[in-house]
Chains A and B, each alone.
Chain A
Amino acid sequence: MKSNEAATKTPKADKKAKAKRFFALQRKYLCIPYIIFFILFIFAPIVIILFYAFTYEVVDPATHTAHFEFSWQPLVNFFTDPSKINVLFVSLFIATITTLICLIIGFPLAYFLADKKINKNAVLVTLFVAPMWINFVLRTGATRDLLTWFGINGGTHPYLATIIGMVQNYLPFVILPLYTTMTKLDKSQIEAAGDLGANPAQVMFKNIIPQAIPGIVSACLMTFMPTMSSYVISDVLSEGKITLFGNYIELEFTNKAWNDGSFMAFVMLLFIAVTMFISQKFGKDDEKEAGQW
């Protein structure tokens, strides 16, 4: 743009360039409300969480007024309370199992859906995403009622019921990114691998899977974190027997334990930071398309 401005010499063009420069400034200002919104409602709450996570309420015995003091107490509470450590491990366990099952089901599914010989119908992909448009709590309730009818309920099989519910809910999030990478697979490379004598298993593990890595990474990210932090699914399907991060933060919230709750949220934020770092490294362009849904 600068070279353009330098090239304009006639007065009329000069005027236009001036107007353009002025408006270029104006257009930039359009994002000010967006930035303000982000500062007020995205960053400020996170700062407050960090503040609460490293302070504790101290009541002054003389004046009976409470104030906050810097303290490691929430951190100590987190690591010394067996129930909290338990929440961490159960969350990691359920999230890992859910992600694995979703990948095992979703990978071949995306592969078949992207294969033009097997599936000519693009609507099918939409159908796999369509359940997301029915209310999420209602779907979770439906899964629970069906499982109860089959005799699998939170009372008898809390883990099984929860994992079934999670897979049911997060499968579309795995299918979409995998499907988009699968449609972009280099077909000639796969054929070449076959022609050069690789058997189907080798083609799969040495060619297709490495090509699909960005899709796999973003599929994992879109399942793992939401599973760890989910509230409704674990609460409804295990009938409150399984406590994940989401459930525990909610519990701290109802108990008005701001500091301990904030520390839990802080731990969650640390996990999220790691995820963000990974997603920056791998599935950059993939995430964009998945984000469209």
Chain B
Amino acid sequence: MVKKIIGRCYIYLILILMYLPVLVLIAFSFTEATNVGEWTGFSFNLFPRLFQSEEIMTALANTVIIAITSALAATILGTLGAIGAFYSKKRAREAIDLATQIPVVNAEIVVAFSLTVMFVFIGNIINVYMFSFWTLLVGHICLSIPFVYTSVKPKLQQMDPSLYEAALDLGASPSKALGKVIIPEIMPGVFSGFLLSITLSLDDFIVTAFTRGSGLLSGEKKIETLSTLIQAKIKKGPIPPEMRALTTILFVVVILAVIGVSIYKNRQDKKEKTRRAF
């Protein structure tokens, strides 16, 4: 009993401590003071100010564009890679598995630095300034591609191999069997790989800061994402007040996502239970 109380208190204490900085920021998103810790009266003004800030909105749009394009590319490449490796010979498969581990364990700064040095190196040889949206895209794909591979692989292993053969027996062409049998079977893995790629890309700072060039909505200037913009701001001073409003919005989205996921999981559990009951 005592253990139960201590355990629960401990869990909630750490949870509160982990959320404290974000919660404080959210609380101060309803006042217009420049610093956290000063309360200058309740106001909603930061929210309209956030949407009027061209700088933040540009960065936000850039971030979303990069996240979606890099996640799509990484998901396609990673899924095809996982399928291909799964049907390769054992030695080739093991080699690909091991190679996939390299960017997973590699430090982000090394990924960023090495890619950038390579782009500079090639740029010097062909006398072209390489940095643009494309180098940034490659950087982000490098970050997320191994995670797509590792989330698709277990689904391929769990798949019933006779399903594919049954499809062939029933007259499906191999490519149709791939599209109608294998892909739907591994879809949950593909989807979680995609989501993971999006979160990795949204969160990334180092690779973005190193590999970006000009382009997208930033036009002639270097591409600014939320991470790089916030970093530039907080290097000079406290988090800009508008960013506090942004935190509140992000937080609400995250909490809604958590609620959505848990409802979905509960439903799936119930389905599983009723399926087992039959």
Residues of chain A touching chain B, judged by Cβ–Cβ distance below 8 Å, are: 16, 19-20, 22-24, 26-35, 37-38, 41-46, 48-49, 52, 105, 108-109, 112-113, 115, 117-119, 122-124, 126-128, 130-146, 148-149, 168, 171-172, 221, 225-226, 228-232, 235-236, 245-246, 249-250, 253, 258, 261-262, 265, 268-269, 272, 275-276, 279, 288, 291-293
Contacts and interface: CB of A to CB of B under 8 A. Distances in A.
Contact of B254 (A31, A134, A137): A134
Interface string B220-237: 000000110011011100
B194 interface: no
Contacts of B243: 138, 141
Contact of B227 (A43, A136, A253, A291): A136
Interface in B226-273: 226-227, 230-231, 233-235, 238-239, 243, 246-247, 250-251, 254-255, 257-258, 261-262, 265
B105 A276 contact: yes
Given A135-B226, A168-B21, A231-B206, A291 B113 contact: no
26 contacts: A19-B174, A28-B87, A42-B99, A42-B103, A42-B142, A45-B115, A49-B113, A113-B11, A118-B11, A122-B262, A131-B18, A134-B251, A141-B234, A141-B238, A142-B25, A145-B21, A148-B37, A229-B110, A246-B109, A265-B110, A272-B106, A272-B107, A276-B102, A291-B151, A292-B196, A293-B196
Is the contact region of chain A dominated by helix, strand, or loop, or is it mixed?
Answer: helix
A112 B10 contact: yes
Contacts of A127: 15, 258
Given A141-B233, A232-B205, A261-B117, 17 more contacts: A28-B88, A31-B80, A41-B142, A109-B14, A112-B10, A123-B262, A135-B203, A135-B230, A141-B230, A145-B36, A145-B238, A149-B37, A168-B21, A171-B14, A228-B107, A272-B105, A272-B110
Contacts of B178: 27
B109 A268 contact: yes
Interface string B181-200: 00000000000100010010
Nearest to B116: A253
B30 interface: no
A162 B71 CA distance: 31
Contacts of B104: 291
B199 A132 contact: yes
A143 to B, nearest CB: 4
B20 interface: yes
B101 to A, nearest CB: 6
Contacts, number: 271
A27 B84 CA distance: 5
Interface residues of B, number: 96
Interface in B14-60: 14-15, 18-22, 24-25, 35-37
A91 B105 CA distance: 17
Contacts of B179: none
B123 interface: no
Contacts of B82: 31
B84 A32 contact: yes
Contact of A138 (B88, B142, B238, B239): B239
Dominant secondary structure at the B interface:
helix
A117 B88 CA distance: 46
A30 B269 CA distance: 34
Given A130-B254, A145-B25, A246 B117 contact: no
Nearest to A278: B105
Contact of B113 (A109, A146, A249): A249
B230 A137 contact: yes
Contacts of A45: 111, 114-115, 117-118
